[in-house]
Amino acid sequence: MPDEYQNHKHYQNLEKVLEYLPWYIEEYIDDKRRRLSAATLMNYANDYKIFLEWTLNEGLHEGTPADVPLSFLESLTVRQVERFLSYLKFEIGNKEVTINRKLSALKSLFYYLQNIAEHRDLTPYIRRNVMAKVELNDLRESMETTAAKMEGKILFGDDYEAFRTFVAEGYGARIRANSKAYRFYQLNRERDAALVALVLGSGLRLSEVVNLNIEDVDFERYYVRVMRKGNKEQYVYCSKQAMTFLKTYVDIRKEKYEVSARQNALFVSAKMGPNQTMRRLTARAVEKMIEKYAAAFGKPNLSIHKLRHSFATKYHGAINDVPKLRQQLGHSSIQTTMIYTHIQNDELKQAVDRMDMPIDAGEEGR
């Protein structure tokens, strides 16, 4: 289940950001608390802070972000908003997908101010919504194109098992000469191998993996209990091999990491810092871990998300059941899952290859 401590920290940081923002944004955030995660609300608040600070730096309004009135939002022009989006792209260096996320956050806020929030006299907070006139960047591309980009960055065939074995055993032989790195690897070898095996054997998201607790794993029925997007609880099945690696790690977890009875996180870090604190493994730590193994394995583009793609591709090739794969991955739309039907389209490849074959004399006369 999601780490309550982590959620508490997100809410603490959210409250600090809200101190710099106008009252109506705090009201909007309060309205969304029941439906959105603490991390998402924190992202929204930061996006609003960036936008309001930009308006002040541009001289569009004076004072602090908290001083920006509703009337100012109502008077913003499309040209001004487009200038902000250009600022995100050319001065901050945000990618198109990040710009879309920030613009979506603003669209959601302005929709709330125009269509949901009301003054005591039942009039809306704002009557004019400039964000409704600004379109998101079109990021659509064909599934075939997306699949083609993905193919060179995921595990196929023998590489699937080879990478799992490399993390469990091979990496140690590669770095044995570096005593410090070797000791660190020996400490975390079972944990790292279990985490990689779990993603390759279930397709879990990074956030779902780091939020797992010991009690979420059922070794007898081969599933883990996760909280998916939208705070939906789901039992996700794992391969027997993934569970074998997990069991090996769990058996040494308490003693090797000196885990206290209060710490129920499944994946934990080695003790760090002056206070020798042991804590839940963070998402960033997992990303860096995979980067390290991937580079040494010879696939530097491999990431934790690409391991999820690798599982999905292998699952589809073996089962060929898109609805079941959609449920396994926790996709809200089946269109998202359909991408895996376009990876390694062997039938299409074979049909094109046959075009280069000489025509049989018997067929030519038909």
Which spans in the chain are helix H?
A: 4-18, 23-32, 38-57, 70-75, 78-86, 96-115, 143-151, 157-165, 171-174, 179-200, 206-210, 240-257, 283-297, 304-319, 322-329, 334-337, 346-354, 361-364
- Residues 85, 170, single domain; the answer is no
Check whether residue 105 and residue 160 sit in a common domain. Answer: no
Task: Tell the residue number behind the tokens 């065939």, with chain if given.
Answer: 157
Instruction: Provide the pLDDT confidence category of residue 110 given band limits of 50, 70 and 90.
Output: very high
* 99 inside domain: yes
Residues 122 and 153 reside in one and the same domain: no
Is the pLDDT at 315 greater than 90? The verdict is no
For the cut 90, the answer to whether the pLDDT of residue 232 exceeds it is: no
The predicted model gives 13-17 an average pLDDT of 91
Q: Are residues 157 and 69 in the same domain?
A: no
Q: Does residue 344 register a pLDDT over 90?
A: no
Return the higher-pLDDT residue of 366 and 240.
240
Q: DSSP letter at 87? A: I
- The total of structural domains in the chain comes to 2
Known catalytic residue: 229? yes
pLDDT at 274: 67
75: pLDDT strictly greater than 60: yes
- pLDDT over 70, % of the chain: 85
The catalytically annotated residue of 28, 253, 340, 342 is 340
192 with 265, same domain: the answer is yes
> Same structural domain for residues 52 and 163?
no
For 333, left (φ over 0), alpha (ψ -120 to 50), or beta? beta
How far the first Cα of the chain sits from its last, in Å, is 66
DSSP string, 217-235: EETTTTEEEEEETTTEEEE
Distances (CA, A) of 191 to 167, 242, 285, 339, 346: 10, 12, 13, 31, 36
> Looking at 191, 299, 308, 342, which residue is catalytic?
308
In a domain, 205, yes or no: yes
Q: pLDDT per residue over 33-69, tens digit each? A: 888 888 889 999 999 999 999 999 999 999 999 999 9
* Total-model pTM: 0.60
Write down the catalytic residue from 35, 229, 284, 288.
229
Known active-site residue 205: yes
Q: Which entry of 10, 102, 316, 331 is annotated as an active-site residue? A: 331
325 and 236 housed in the same domain = yes
Candidate from 105-119, 226-240, 282-296 with smallest mean pLDDT: 226-240
Whole-angstrom distance, CA of residue 114 vs CA of residue 124: 5
With CA atoms as reference, report the closest residue to 199 among 299, 308, 78.
308
Q: Give residue 202's identity as a one-letter amino acid code.
A: S
Q: What is the CATH number of the domain that holds 170?
A: 1.10.443.10
Q: Based on the fold, state whether residues 239 and 306 are members of the same structural domain.
A: yes
Could you confirm whether 340 is annotated as catalytic? yes
| pLDDT, position 2 | 44
Range of the domain at 11: 4-133
Active site residue 331: yes
* Catalytic one of 10, 102, 164, 205: 205
The tokens describing 1, both together, are 């289940």
Would you say residue 61 lies in a domain?
yes
Let me know whether 202 and 172 are in one domain.
yes
